[in-house]
Amino acid sequence: MFTTWKLGTIGVVLATGIFSAQAPVRQATEGEWFVECAFDRLANKRDCEVAVEVKSTDPAFHMGFIYRVGSGIFLAVGLPAPARIVARVDGGEAYEFGMCTGQACLLRGRIASQLRERMHQGEILRLEFRGADRVGGVADVSLSGFNKMHIEALDRFSR
């Protein structure tokens, strides 16, 4: 299970990689989506993620929206730290992320699987962001490329 400490650590690590001045080495990109894989030394296995980076200047926020292939969870990391994240595909059902700790919010289990399936079939992912500082915003992200990057991540994960 995820503890507050583990989620906080994940959020800091992911936020550092996404928001660092130096662009990370991305194994594959398609549209706005990209794949990154890392070796988890604690679990002694590889994990891959499909992600998109969202930046807004009005209001100012910077968010990484991440699907972790090995664990089947979605993470939303952000600056300012997210307090609430809601994802919708093509204006459909709202998927509200819970467990917001530190700089990350989490969606897992059956609900995460449903969102992933909707993303495979959809065209636009709408992300509603509200930060801990009460700054809020909405970003629409094209799902073009998500399917291809998910397949790429699954392939890299299984190697």
What does the DSSP 8-state code read for residue 23? P
- In this prediction, residue 16 carries a pLDDT of 46
Domain definitions of the chain by residue range: 4-158
Closest CA to 104 of 5, 15, 3, 39: 15
CA 15/CA 18 separation, integer angstroms: 5
Closest CA to 109 of 69, 73, 159: 73
Top-level class of domain 4-158: mainly beta
**In order along the chain (159 residues), what is the average pLDDT of each group of 10 residues?**
40 47 60 87 84 84 92 92 94 93 92 98 94 85 95 88
In tens, the pLDDT along 5-38 reads 343 434 444 444 544 444 455 667 777 999 999 8
- In this prediction, residue 20 carries a pLDDT of 45
Residue in the block written with tokens 């296995």: 45
Token code pair at residue 135: 């700054």
Is the preceding omega at residue 24 within 30 degrees of 0, hence cis? no
- In this prediction, residue 26 carries a pLDDT of 66
Beta strands 45-57; 60-68: pairing state: antiparallel
Q: Contact, 31 vs 125, CB < 8 A?
A: no
